[in-house]
Amino acid sequence: MVSAIIPAYNEESTIGEAVKAVVGHPRIEEVIVVDDGSKDGTSRIAAQAGAKVIRLSENSGKANAMEIGVKAAKSDIILFLDADVLGMTYEKLSVIIDPVVSGRLDMHVGIFARPLVFSKKLFYISPVLSGQRALVKSLWYKIPANHKKGFRIELALNYAARRYGKGTGYEIVPSLRHFSKEEKYGFFKGFWRRLRMFSQVAAFSLVLYIWEPMKAPFASVGEASKEGRA
């Protein structure tokens, strides 16, 4: 069985659809929404849709919300979803989780179909940053605490999944989308956030794949992070 975790911050317009798309799936044991200090009705709507809600008193960032969700999860397999994902169905969920449930992969990522101009240039970045991913819980505990921040977490998960165990895979999931940063924040503010995101991704990729391997920052197999083990 699978524990679905949805970190959310001020997502009252989409969280209901995101939760309803997951509740009732035959492989989903529970749906946990971690409300990261929202100022709107995110918690209320998520609970009404059938999720277990963990409400944080203040905003602490997506990675920390994910960490709290993992600690609360019952299952040994985790499904992370974005709170603003649109177009999710049971069939699409199965596409994402089945390779992990079957034991074929340690992580499987569902990515949005991108326009051709983006797919060629950002082919390797898009899968890494997708919030729609299933993974074995043990993989989470191989990530050092200092990598569980901001956009680092998706990159770190991708790195760890390739380094340990059965590896990772990804699949384009048709008709799946979410609101772009430009749609959420307006064109200029959204575009600036996008540029900042990719600059952080590029910088951390250099650290992760060039500098950090020499320091061996990740826990060895069987030597899981102590975070979440208490």
Q: Vertex 121, ends 116 and 122: CA angle to 5°? A: 95
Q: Which two tokens stand for residue 158?
A: 């991708």
Model's pTM, two decimal places?
A: 0.80
133 pairs with which residues across the strands? 80, 109
Most confident of 20-24, 58-62, 186-190: 20-24
Q: With bands split at pLDDT 50, 70 and 90, how would you rate the model's confidence at 50?
A: very high
Q: Which domains does the chain have, with CATH numbers?
A: 2-215 (3.90.550.10)
Count of Cβ atoms closer than 10 Å to residue 119 Cβ: 13
C-alpha 42 chain-centroid distance: 18
One-letter identity of residue 143: I
Kindly report, residue by residue over 93-124, the tens digit of the pLDDT.
Answer: 999 999 999 999 999 999 877 654 344 444 44
